Amino acid sequence: MIFIIPEEFAQKIKSWIEDKNGVDIEVINVTEMTSIANYFVIASGSSERQVKAIADNIEYEAKQLEIFPKNIEGQREGRWILLDYYDVIIHIFHAEEREFYNLEKLWKSSPVNR
């Protein structure tokens, strides 16, 4: 496993999401608000298939850098997939789920980089 600065990794993840046409991508610095991660990356897909494709692409590209997730949740359903890469946690939502859970509102006092 190589070392990568969390902010740089979050930006790489953003570009990998863009590669699969993910939308409404937000990189949120949560360093001052929680100890579970430094960054959340939140994005949406228009279908369960696209949500899964985005998550699969992130996992594939990170593996090429020898970076492996601590945990992945929600792959079977494809409505909200969470990939936990220790310092960076990625939430890939189906658009309807994202609107319902509205994680950005929960973390709104953190700096958001679009």
pLDDT (tens digit, 9 = 90+) per residue, 50-87?
Answer: 999 999 999 999 999 999 999 999 988 899 999 999 99
The pTM score is: 0.89
Q: 73-99 burial string, b = 16+ CB within 10 Å, else e?
A: ebeeebbbbbbebebbbbbbbbeebbe
Q: What is the pLDDT of residue 112?
A: 56
Average pLDDT, the chain: 91
Give the domains, in start order, of the chain with CATH numbers: 6-109 (3.30.460.10)
Give the model confidence (pLDDT) of 7-18 as tens digits.
999 999 999 999
Q: What is the pLDDT of residue 106?
A: 76
Residue 111 and residue 28: Cα distance in Å, rounded? 6
Q: What is the pLDDT of residue 10?
A: 98
